[in-house]
A and B are shown apart, each in its own frame.
Chain A
Amino acid sequence: MRFTVVTVVSALAWMAVGCGKDEVRVYQAPQDAPPVAAANPQGGAALTPAASEIPRSAASGSSSSAGPESSASERPAVPWTVPAGWEEKPASGMRVASYGVKRPDGRSVDISVVAMGGGAGGELENVNRWRDQIGLEPATEADLAGLRSIIPAGNRQVVMYELDGKKAVLDGKYAARTLAAILPAGEMTVFFKITGESALVAEQKPQFLAWLKSVDTGGGGGESAPEASASSSAPAPASAPAASGGSERASGGGGGADGLPNWQVPSGWKAAGPKPMRLASFDIPDAAGNGDVSISKLSGNGGGLLANVNRWRGQVGLAPLEAGALAANSKAVATAGGDSGTWVELVGTEKTILGAIVARGEVSWFFKLTAPSAVAAQNREAFEQFVRSIRF
């Protein structure tokens, strides 16, 4: 009798003990090895590799990296012709430029230019990401060949993918289509993409291809292979640099053939390879740290003189100026072509930026030298001469 009771009670007790799985556990554990992917500077997380293209440039304008500009906040020189009917939209997040086309019946397409560092994840991963966005199953490496074609972009040949989603993924009504071209450019990769309602994308395809043809890929020398060579690999003698991998700027300058003014290039400056968002670049090799000269162009006033100067000030660690202080902190400079520009010298703790901003009608030109302060001081005279030599 007692025995039975004991059996039943212990069975019930066992049942109670077994249900410990829902408790919150607290313990101490050895730390994991640090994760492989880089963390977002805001202290957030990276996604799993298949979607890991969150670029460093998300922190707009605040990164003070020496060397090539990669921040997305610098409005790009617009080195292409925008097709008719494409509305410009504010560039945001990862995008260098953004356009859209809308139809009255609500259909729309979205055109974007995105520049990312390095290989930007690899071709297969990017294609599968685009496929996923329009409701397609991922492709394998073998499928890629059937999906890609080679088209001209500027004076180069690049890979383009045409992805036709069949499912009605837009507002539950429309199928989507994506055309995406991949342009390797020096250390970066630039993606030109149009995506949206299927028929509208097909209709805009000729414009898209023409737009790609109009992109200024920066090479007077031109390359037919999709791979761009790295920057400044060519020796550049004195005043007539003849770079094999990048833009050639003899002392006669670009001669206006690709929209660039003429100028006199100081000795010791090497023409650097094509970089997105710039029309031309030069490297000033120096043991103390290379200097970087960039020439770019923005439409209108490029955001405003003060805004740009303050952006540069931020990049060397200087506090921004109030509106009234700009006049005292800059001077006027005249160019050989008769234009007038604003010259600023921004000396930070480690780096210096020398810059000249020339407004010419509908566009503003930016000529900028970034270098460690000692190098900048040495080249100040030469840079000023360079600016004064500009003739549009």
Chain B
Amino acid sequence: MISKLFQFLSSLRLTVVLLGLGVVVVFFGTLGQTSDGLYVAQERYFRSWFSYWTPHGAAFPVVPLPGGYLLGTMLVINLIVAHFTRFKWTWSKSGIFLTHIGIILLLLGQLATDMLARESIMSFREGDTRNYSESSMDFELAFLRSAGSNTLDQVVAIPAVRLKPGDELHHELLPFGIRVKEAYENARIRLRAPVMDSNRPPAATQGVGARIVIDAQPPTRTMDARNVPAAVIELSGPSNLGTWAVSGELKPQVVTVEGTEWRLEYRSVRDYKPFALTLLKTTHETYPGTDIPKNFQSRVRLRNTESHEDREVDIYMNSPLRYGGYTFFQYQMGKEQLADGGRGTSALQVVRNPSWITPYLGCILVGVGLLVQFLMHLTKFIARRKPRAA
């Protein structure tokens, strides 16, 4: 029974089936991307164990599919088990072993990247200093209060996915409970107009919410636009603190509970760094007579108070800044649209990927393995031909 299992797991047929399924999943995932957008399609079809594809308008899932994790895991298992049951460990096959180890490393490295890598955006205007970067997709509802010293805040951040209408949230550090009354994946905030909104009450009873209405918008699935979520929450502590409207579009609001001021902000998830970058100057060059970008360059000042570093660095296309385990790539550049002439703006893509080396190592191993195997065959072939010629 066990040996039958091993036979199945190590069979070449399984490998072929898995690779074939891989092609199928990529096909349906690509189809799915047109309606779901890149990010959601990746989550659904590839960062999952099982998924399904539904054509437009169908009432039930039409095509069940294995997810990316399942395929990858099965391929790795298949390869490793085959090595231990079927393959013979001989020198003549050493090249093939190297190649297979390279492939295993590639697969495992991709899994590690998926689990560990973090990508975020740091965007600022000339003169701004940032010691954090922001997620381009995820939002959090952050409650901040002064942490005693003048410069530090205590932050309790609730991920946006936890805000579902009807949910009740509590945290030991918050002096109030949070009840989510409304939650929107994408919404616009508008000042409440007297004639237009006479039959719509204000979004909330406290803070800015008392003067605005929330217009829900269909979630966007394109690459260039972003969903800005909003919610209406009810805070209840020792006394009822009323309802508050929060949105990615609003600036922080202040709730005072028993003498302590809490700021409440619905913002992109932040990743704080132990160092800060200040944008000094942006350079945006295009090829003369066209709009085609030639050079996006940001000059930043890197300051790390702990290690007493303070230096200026240029970040431009193909020349990122690597520091502190992060890599800062020049991502976007622009200019503020203000009547009095705005400052230049720059967005850096901040990537942290501990397993960045695995694709390189994996490919090198595969290449070396193939080379070794071919050379061995070549020498054997030449050796066999020589006596005949004689």
A22 to chain B, nearest CB (A): 6
CB pair B115–A30 under 8 Å, yes or no, is: no
With both beta carbons as reference points, the residue of chain B lying nearest to A20 in the complex is identified as B115
Main secondary structure of the interface of A (DSSP, over half): mixed
Contact in complex: B114, A45 (CB < 8 Å): no
Tell me if B256 is interfacial: C-beta within 8 Å of chain A.
Answer: yes
Q: Residues 4-38 of chain A: 1 if any B CB is under 8 Å from the residue's CB, otherwise 0?
A: 10011001001101100111111111110001010
Interface-lining segment among B29-37, B245-253, B288-296, B370-378: B245-253
**Choice from A11, A24, A28 contacting B147 with Cβ under 8 Å:** A28
Q: Are A48 and B251 in contact (CB under 8 A)?
A: yes
A22-69 residues at the B interface, CB under 8 angstroms: 22-31, 35, 37, 39-40, 43-48, 51, 54
Complex interface: chain A residues within 8 A of B193 (CB): 133, 195
Residues of A with C-beta under 8 A to B175: none
B153 close to A28 (CB less than 8 A): yes
Shortest C-beta distance, B48 to chain A (Å), equals 10
Distance, CA A25 to CA B162, complexed state (A):
12
**B80 A44 Cβ-Cβ under 8 A:** no
Number of A interface residues in the complex (CB < 8 A): 50
The segment out of B11-19, B52-60, B91-99, B194-202 that lies at the interface is B194-202
Q: Which of B69-77, B327-335, B354-362, B382-390 is the contact stretch?
A: B69-77
B321 on the interface (CB 8 Å rule)?
no
Query: Is the beta-carbon distance between A8 and B157 smaller than 8 angstroms?
Result: no
Check A171/B251 contact, CB under 8 A, given A26-B155, A28-B154. no
B76 pairs with A7, CB closer than 8 A: yes
Residues on A with beta carbons closer than 8 Å to the beta carbon of B146: 31
Q: Which of A23, A28, A45 contacts B254 (CB 8 A)?
A: A45
Asked if A47 meets B191 with Cβ closer than 8 Å, knowing A14-B115, A18-B114, A28-B153, the reply is: yes
Contact of B196 among A31, A48, A122, A133 (CB under 8 A): A133
- Can you name the residue of chain B whose Cβ is closest to the Cβ of A195? B195
- Determine the distance from Cα of A54 to Cα of B169 in the docked complex, in whole angstroms: 32
Using A11-B73, A30-B153 as known contacts, say yes or no to A22 and B196 having CB atoms under 8 A apart.
Answer: no
- In the complex, which of the residues B193, B212, B272 has the most CB atoms of chain A within 10 Å of its own CB atom? B193
Q: Is B176 interfacial (CB-CB < 8 Å)?
A: no
Q: Which of A14, A43, A133 contacts B256 (CB 8 A)?
A: A43
Closest residue of chain B to A30 (Cβ to Cβ) is: B151
Contact of A46 among B9, B171, B251 (CB under 8 A): B251
Give CA–CA (A377, B80) in the complex, Å: 98
- Give chain B residues whose Cβ lies under 8 Å from the Cβ of A170: 195-196
CB of A134 within 8 A of chain B? yes
How extensive is the interface on chain B, given as a class?
35 or more
The reply on B348 being an interface residue by CB < 8 A is no
Which residue of chain B has the shortest Cβ distance to A197 in the bound complex?
B195
CB pair B77 A7 closer than 8 Å: yes
Q: Which residues from B are CB-within-8-Å of A164? A: none
CB distance from B272 to the nearest CB of A (A): 5
Assess whether B196 is in contact with A4, with CB atoms less than 8 Å apart: no
Determine if A3 and B252 form an interchain contact, defined as CB atoms under 8 angstroms apart. no
Chain A residues lying within 8 Å of B121, measured Cβ to Cβ, are: none
Question: B196 and A176: CB pair below 8 A?
Answer: yes
Which residues on the B side are within 8 Å of A18 (C-beta)? 114-115
Inside 8 A of B261's CB, which chain A residues have their CB?
Answer: 43
Q: Establish whether residues B153 and A48, one from each chain, have CB atoms under 8 Å apart when the complex forms.
A: no
Q: Does A132 contact B (CB under 8 A)?
A: yes
* A124 interface contact, C-beta 8 A: yes
A75 within 8 A of B: no
When the two chains form their complex, are residues A122 and B207 in contact, meaning their CB atoms are under 8 A apart? no
Give which listed residue, A27, A35, A122, A169, contacts B251 with CB less than 8 A. Answer: A35
Interface mask (B204-217 → A, CB under 8 Å = 1, otherwise 0): 00111001100000
B301-328 vs A: 1/0 string, CB under 8 Å?
0000000000000000000000000000
Residues of A within 8 A of B223 (CB): none
In the bound complex, CA of A39 to CA of B253 (Å): 9
**A24, B77: Cβ atoms under 8 Å?**
no
Chain B 26-69 near chain A by CB (<8 Å), digits 1 or 0: 00000000000000000000000100000000000000000001
Q: Give the docked Cα–Cα distance between A196 and B208 (Å).
A: 25
Answer yes or no: B1 CB below 8 A from chain A CBs.
Answer: no
B81 beta carbon closer than 8 Å to chain A? yes
- The 8 Å CB contact of B250, one of A47, A133, A141, A169, is A47
Nearest chain B residue, comparing its CB with the CB of A129? B191
B252 touches A23 (CB 8 A): no
- 8 Å CB contact of B155 from A27, A46, A51, A196: A27
**Identity of the chain A residue whose Cβ is nearest the Cβ of B264 in the assembled complex:** A45
Q: How far is the CA of A250 from the CA of B211 in the complex (A)?
A: 46
A108 at the interface (CB under 8 A from B): yes
Given A24-B171, A44-B207, does the pair A29, B270 have CB atoms closer than 8 Å?
Answer: yes
The reply to whether A25 and B157 contact each other, CB–CB distance below 8 Å, is yes
Inter-chain contacts of B339 with A (CB < 8 A): 122, 124, 141
Contact A45 B194 (CB under 8 A): no
Q: Are A109 and B208 touching (Cβ within 8 A)?
A: no
A1 at interface, CB cutoff 8 A: yes
Residues of B within 8 A of A47 (CB): 189, 191, 208, 212, 249-251
Task: Report whether A29 and B252 are in contact in the complex, using a CB–CB cutoff of 8 Å.
Answer: no
Which A residues are CB-close (under 8 A) to B150? 31
Q: Which residues of B contact A24 (CB under 8 A)?
A: 156-159, 162, 169, 171
Q: Residues 82-116 of chain A: 1 if any B CB is under 8 Å from the residue's CB, otherwise 0?
A: 00000000000000000000000000111010000
Chain B CB within 10 Å — which of A8, A39, A43, A45 has the most? A45
Q: Which residues of B contact A176 (CB under 8 A)?
A: 195-196
- B250: chain A residues at CB < 8 Å are 45, 47-48
* A23, B196: Cβ atoms closer than 8 Å: no
Q: Does B111 belong to the interface (CB within 8 Å)? A: yes
Q: Mark A120-145, 1 if CB is under 8 A from B, else 0.
A: 00101000010011100000010000
Query: Which residues in A have their C-beta under 8 angstroms from that of B194?
Result: 110, 112
Across the two chains, which residue of chain B brings its CB closest to A35? B251
Which of chain A's residues have a CB closer than 8 A to the CB of B270? Answer: 29
* Chain A residues near B154 (CB-CB < 8 A): 26, 28
How far apart sit A1 and B114, CA to CA, in the bound complex (Å)? Answer: 27
Known A3-B84, A4-B80, A43-B256; judge A17-B208 contact (CB<8 A).
no
Nearest 9 interchain pairs by C-beta: A45-B253, A18-B115, A133-B193, A110-B195, A44-B207, A25-B157, A43-B254, A45-B251, A11-B73
| 26 contacts across the A-B interface (CB closer than 8 A) | A3-B81, A4-B9, A4-B80, A7-B76, A11-B69, A11-B73, A18-B115, A23-B159, A25-B156, A27-B272, A29-B152, A29-B155, A29-B272, A30-B131, A31-B150, A31-B153, A37-B251, A43-B256, A43-B261, A45-B207, A45-B253, A47-B249, A124-B339, A169-B196, A170-B196, A195-B195
Q: Which residues of B contact A (CB under 8 A)?
A: 2, 6, 9, 49, 69, 73, 76-77, 80-81, 84, 111, 114-115, 131-132, 138, 140, 144, 146-147, 150-159, 161-162, 169, 171, 173, 189-191, 193-196, 199, 206-208, 211-212, 249-254, 256, 261, 270, 272, 339
Q: With contacts A31-B152, A196-B195 known, what are 7 further pairs, Cβ within 8 A?
A: A4-B6, A8-B77, A21-B159, A24-B159, A28-B154, A30-B153, A45-B252
